[in-house]
Amino acid sequence: MHRYLNDPTLAVPVFPGSHIVIDGDYIFLSGLTVTDIQGGEAVVGDIAEETRWVMRRLARMLEFAGGNLSDTVRVDVHLTNLDTIHTMDAAYAEFFDDHRYPARTCTESPRLSGDSNVEITLVARRPVETDAGARG
């Protein structure tokens, strides 16, 4: 059975969707831009900071859903300008250990919500609990 959740620290979506959907094996997070985050508009235009703000919030959303970034298997990134990909990549890579990066797509989207320059969405595998309750 699917569970549909909204992050209590974000505004309720204005679109017909949920921030988080959890099914038996996976956690799906809706696309997020820096302008979805209170105060985020202050960093619009700095692609590295936009990426860090979004990745930090996605990490918190995963924790809220019972996972973490190391559980991520798929990421979709939308940039308003693909010429900024190397700067975005450098900031994005800070969030994954030991070069264990999820599968990823990166596209250019000329217009994102709130004039943001990056939108990121991800899918994570739900952690497996062992008999002792620890992650396996």
Amino acid at 24: G
Domain ranges for the chain, please list them: 3-125
Contact assessment for residue 19 and residue 85, using Cβ atoms and an 8 Å cutoff: no
- Cα–chain center distance at 35: 13
**pLDDT of amino acid 129:** 67
* Res 28: pLDDT: 97
Of 52, 15, 61, the residue nearest 34 (C-alpha): 52
DSSP state letters, 73-109: EEEEEEES-GGGHHHHHHHHHTTSSTT-PPEEEEEE-
Each residue's pLDDT, cut to its tens digit, for the chain (136 residues) gives: 799 999 888 888 888 889 999 998 999 999 999 998 888 889 989 999 999 999 999 999 999 999 999 999 999 999 999 999 999 999 999 999 988 999 999 999 999 988 999 999 999 999 876 555 544 4
Q: What is the pLDDT of residue 134?
A: 47
Domain at 3-125: CATH architecture? 2-Layer Sandwich (3.30)
